[in-house]
Amino acid sequence: MTTITARAALLDMDGTLVDSTAIVERLWWEWAEPHGLDWRTVLETVHGRQGWQSMAMLLPDRDHGINIVENEQMLDRESIETDGVVEIAGAARFLQSLAPFPHAVVTSANLALMTARMGAAGLTIPALAITAERVANSKPHPEGFLLAASILDVAPADCVVFEDSGAGIQAGLDAGMTVIGVGPHAPKFSPTHHVDDLTGMRIDADAAGFTISFG
């Protein structure tokens, strides 16, 4: 059993709290196919980032304005097409256990998409949500996590991040935070710790904040 002490928990959404893999991959496949892009490269690029940034990386010579328009179109579709969106195992109970303590969602989704997916998965949205509209820089830039820590008035070193993607894990580490990677793909991105899902997480009050036990 591993136990760490923290004063705030910062949680990614897709792949960490919510399983939306089928929808994300289907919509990105529809976008990528006309461009003749390698599907494996697309999957390695899009997870954890804002859509316009992924498009820019995949089509570096394309006008940025087109990426912005197509990203908005994709976000609109994602906010409507929520069939099959479910919680990551243990997410609802984990969020409930965090309720007395400082915590936030930090996601590359916009507010509408976050609200739709959290609702479809039956999850309570934390009082603080850092969505795409609130940052200038997408993950792997640490801006979102640092903004959440600042609003919660907690030092980055006292925050623990829960993330599944390479971009998100890098953002958390670069913010100077402890990062718990969630899911089967997280270990290859070298998080501080790793769990398969959120079923084994235990939260207990502590004089310094709270402890998180797992493993």
Residue of 14, 19, 158, 164 with catalytic role: 14
The verdict on whether 38 is a catalytic residue reads no
- Considering Cα of 51, then 174, then 147, then 98, what sign does the dihedral take? positive
Contact 47, 13 (CB under 8 A): no
**Beta-carbon count within 10 A of 47 CB:** 22
Q: Is 15 left (phi over 0), alpha (psi -120 to 50) or beta?
A: left
Locate tokens 């899009």: which residue? 46
Q: Are strands 202-206 and 103-106 parallel, antiparallel or unpaired?
A: unpaired
d(CA 149, CA 104): 9
**Within its chain, how far is the Cα of 22 from the centroid?**
16
- In the Cβ-directed half-sphere of 118, how many Cα atoms lie within 13 Å? 21
> At 101, is the secondary structure helix, strand, or coil?
coil
Contact 167, 43 (CB under 8 A): no
The verdict on whether 19 is a catalytic residue reads no
* Residues involved in catalysis: 12, 14
